[in-house]
Structure 1
């Protein structure tokens, strides 16, 4: 494959389990035999920590921050990639907290991640970008670089407003850069089927996204235990029933992009 599938996991609303979904979708793609690059673009570094790479968060330069903000250091990204049993990882770093204002000053502020990924993406089948939980330059970089979005959400009414804000932002970015950003899936996370509001919200999301696959992830203690262990749920407990859902998400992505397990 000449170019990998690039997908960002994005919702500017915090607390929706964005990083959890990103790691487990990446793990499921790996389980289907794909080579996956995981990019932690969130300055908080949650994915970096949840993949057992917290020491990288305090690394000295050059880091992802330098690659994004200094054109002459883009090729340093090769030295930043860390190995993980399930995927390669571009870790976040404490310096990323200064990325927003630095990117504002850049001549092509929304294109820097795309330019950085070109240095290393050719060896991967998928690039998964975990976005920060807010709209801004880093989110713009993720959307521009991938132009494919997987949206995590909670089964609660606040998700409606979060969808509106995200889509307004995507529309503006598409107009500014003359690109087409596609929704590839919605993953409703941490569903408690005992709650009436949760059931009603799942119904609303399914109706609102008629042309987009909607997946349901229910509360399971092993999901958090896997993150604490630094791996995906599929690596931690392949017998958990939610593993099947993540594998279905991965299989559907393969179908959307014309890939199969044999392509990996």
Structure 2
């Protein structure tokens, strides 16, 4: 079995629908027959809640905090993985709110997630990492572990500065670790087609990322309903008109990572 394809869904700007994009991309890959591990690296635990696992957010140790902050507990990661109907979940935990300073003290502060995932990643075709909405050690860990990123963004001018900050951060990581983090695509999310600014910003993003896939997801209540019910659109809102967008993302990722659709 080849190494899993790993993807960090990242944007340090909050409110861009990052978790919704990550869950629905994972759902699309599951629909294509792939085994997916979803890593909720956000201390807020939104993905853990949106996948119907809210109760584990307050669970006693060991948690994701422990396996990231204590090298002697890395091999306990398999105890944390939970089964969901569409994907396996490595949930966040309330203790993750204190992990940033702990990672700062680590000898290999940006590599702890990569070292931890080595214990479980070979069971999966894809690892999807839902990043926190800020730049710091957790974001570094996600980007280093994946070395591929999918960027959710809003169709508004504030996204220009967000892109600039993210790419400055990625450039610094590339230099510090001698790696090359690749952009696999941009998902312009929560688009209100009635707003002229949205159309103008979409054009700007498509021009700025002329060699990178850009997908457009319209604002739809079905996206939030699906998350409220604990799954992706593919399970909870199969008639949503936004499903074809996520299907295309899944198909494109398979091409990029040289994966074949694994449907029976």
Task: Say yes or no: TM over 0.5.
Answer: yes
Superposed CA offset, 1:137-167 (max 9, x none): 0000000000000000000000000000000
Cα shift at 1:122: 0.2
Mind listing any 5+ residue stretches in structure 1 that lack a counterpart? none
Superposed CA offset, 1:153-195 (max 9, x none): 0000000000000000000000000000000010000101110
Quote the residue 2:160 is aligned against. 160
Q: How much is the aligned-residue C-alpha RMSD, in angstroms?
A: 0.9
SS at match of 1:261: coil
Stretches of 4+ moved more than 6 A in 1? none
Q: Distance in 2 between matches of 1:260 and 1:250?
A: 11
Quote the residue 1:128 is aligned against. 128
Q: Distance in 2 between matches of 1:175 and 1:221?
A: 41
Superposed counterparts of 1:10-25, under 5 Å: 10-25=10-25
Q: Distance in 1 between matches of 2:227 and 2:237?
A: 11
Q: Distance in 2 between matches of 1:260 and 1:243?
A: 20
Quote the residue 1:249 is aligned against. 249
Quote the residue 2:145 is aligned against. 145
Aligned pairs, number: 264
Superposed CA offset, 1:92-141 (max 9, x none): 00000010000000000000000000000001000000000000000000
Matched, 1:35 2:23: no
Cα shift at 1:262: 3.2
TM-score under structure 2 normalisation?
0.99
Q: Is the 8 A contact 2:32 2:263 kept in 1?
A: no
Cα shift at 1:2: 2.5
SS at match of 2:8: strand
Quote the residue 2:199 is aligned against. 199
Mind listing any 5+ residue stretches in structure 2 that lack a counterpart? none
Shift in alpha-carbon separation, 1:228–1:263, aligned structure 2, 3 A = closer
Cα shift at 1:260: 1.3
Q: Distance in 1 between matches of 2:254 and 2:127?
A: 13
Superposed counterparts of 1:108-123, under 5 Å: 108-123=108-123
Superposed counterparts of 1:1-264, under 5 Å: 1-262=1-262
Q: Distance in 1 between matches of 2:82 and 2:56?
A: 9
